Amino acid sequence: MNQGKNHPQGFTHMNREYTVAIAGATGAVGEELIQLLDERNFPVKELRLLASARSAGKTLTFRGKDITIQELTHESFSGVDIALFSAGGSIALEYAPSAAAAGAVVIDNSSAFRIDPDVPLVVPEINPDAAKAPKKGIIANPNCTTIVSLMALAPLHREFGLKSIIASSYQAVSGSGVEGIIELDEQVSAITKGEPIVSKVYPRQIAFNVIPQVDVFDEGDYTKEELKMLNESRKILGIPELEVTCTCVRVPVHRSHSVSISAAFEKPITPDTARAAIAGNPGIQVVDDPQKALFPVPLDTTGQDDCLVGRIRQDKVLPNALALWVVGDQVRKGAALNAVQIAELIASNKD
């Protein structure tokens, strides 16, 4: 079976170059954005790196050149064609409209605009046409767990008609930022040394444990992360009646999210017809030979572009349903790569 690999597509030809700004350039996703713009040969004329005042004056490297980080202000976007936001919802709400007003197309990684009916929510492999001519000049990047799940489910929906999703996620600590990784590593070290355990990022110990809470609790005691799977899946797939229930769990893994899914469909479906429907779709690979211990695990996708799906089997409870297991790098495809792919769509539309 093929494992997930990077497939930098790049631009083999271009009619123009673009001034690109990254708001939140010093974070994990921001740094990944810089790397991917280079890897995928995005036609950058000027790269403008923006962050908080405390990071202003520092430098980051892009294509062999040091670029000085500037403080993010409402005046930062003059002359910018594409603004990539990875600075959190409150920052996006404050500054994204200024970027759009200055003429930039904004691609926002936060949840700030995802459910706004005038803001498209885009996964390029699934609904690329939604990225054309956004009304507010803003395009939203979906939640990482939603993206990973739909990379496997969208090809099945196109052929069999998706009706419902029952999912449990297994989400890496890097989803909480570098602080999540540090807390896990410090707790593991403390346990091996017999020292007290300190929990600051998570409400409970994460080392050698799992925590059934990602984000804060909301309506019906579902967390916001769980409700994102419901609302965002409906919007991306264009199925307002889609039924979704989800439990999101933080696990002691550094990077890459995994999702266990039972999905029911309008038409009869089997594991073989599902594998055939998924095969050949960009960004998703089938790794599914359990007798040989071939199934996706987080380490297979870490640092990789493609999501992987396996453990595809008939659901024993629901009719016309399958159980499956999907894994993807939430920093890469779940955030930075998806945003750069949207930027590529914008560049292709403008060219």
Angle between helices 28-39 and 337-350 (to 10 degrees): 50
3-class DSSP state for residue 165? Answer: strand
Task: Give the residue among 30, 40, 31 at the shortest CA–CA distance from 18.
Answer: 40
First to last CA, the chain: 38
Length of the chain: 351
254 is catalytic: no
- 249, β-bridge pairs: 170
d(CA 312, CA 301): 18
Structure tokens at 280: 């050949």
144 is catalytic: yes
Which is catalytic among the residues 144, 246, 248, 307?
144
Task: Give the residue among 129, 26, 18, 4 at the shortest CA–CA distance from 70.
Answer: 26
Which is catalytic among the residues 157, 246, 248, 257?
257
Phi, psi of 153 (to 5 degrees): -80, -30
Long-range contacts of residues 217-224, Cβ cutoff 8 Å, at least 24 apart: 222/246, 223/248, 224/111
Task: Give the residue among 260, 290, 288 at the shortest CA–CA distance from 274.
Answer: 288
Structure tokens at 320: 């016309």
Give 68's contacts (C-beta < 8 A, 6+ positions apart).
49, 57, 58, 59
Biggest CA–CA distance in the chain, Å, is: 61
Task: Give the residue among 255, 250, 247 at the shortest CA–CA distance from 208.
Answer: 250
d(CA 106, CA 137): 6
- Catalytic positions, please? 144, 257
